[in-house]
């Protein structure tokens, strides 16, 4: 997939841990970990909104598009 989730980078910049963010966003640690480790297939806009609010960032700070080489 050409979308990379840079949640771990933004969390480190904001000095916010996984447990604290999970509580702020009201998401399980397991689901947040899936996002953080770039294993997610989808993200709800309401979840993205809550993450951006908690980390005081823009969606583009978390999501990045990288073109994949054609096979």
Domain ranges of the chain: 3-65
Number of residues written out for the chain: 71
pLDDT value for 8: 94
Please state the separation of Cα 44 from the chain's center in Å.
11
pLDDT tens readout for residues 4-58: 999 999 999 999 999 999 999 999 999 999 999 999 999 999 999 999 999 999 9
pLDDT value for 1: 65
- Three-class SS state of 4: strand
Class of the CATH domain delimited by 3-65: mainly alpha
| pTM summary value | 0.88
Tokens of 31: 């689901």
């Amino acid at each position: 997939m050409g979308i990379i989730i840079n949640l771990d980078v933004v969390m480190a910049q904001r000095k916010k841990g996984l447990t604290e963010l999970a509580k702020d966003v009201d998401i399980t640690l397991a689901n947040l970990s899936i996002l953080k480790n770039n294993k997610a297939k989808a993200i709800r806009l309401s979840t993205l909104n809550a993450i951006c609010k908690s980390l005081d960032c823009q969606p583009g700070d978390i999501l990045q598009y990288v073109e994949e080489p054609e096979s």
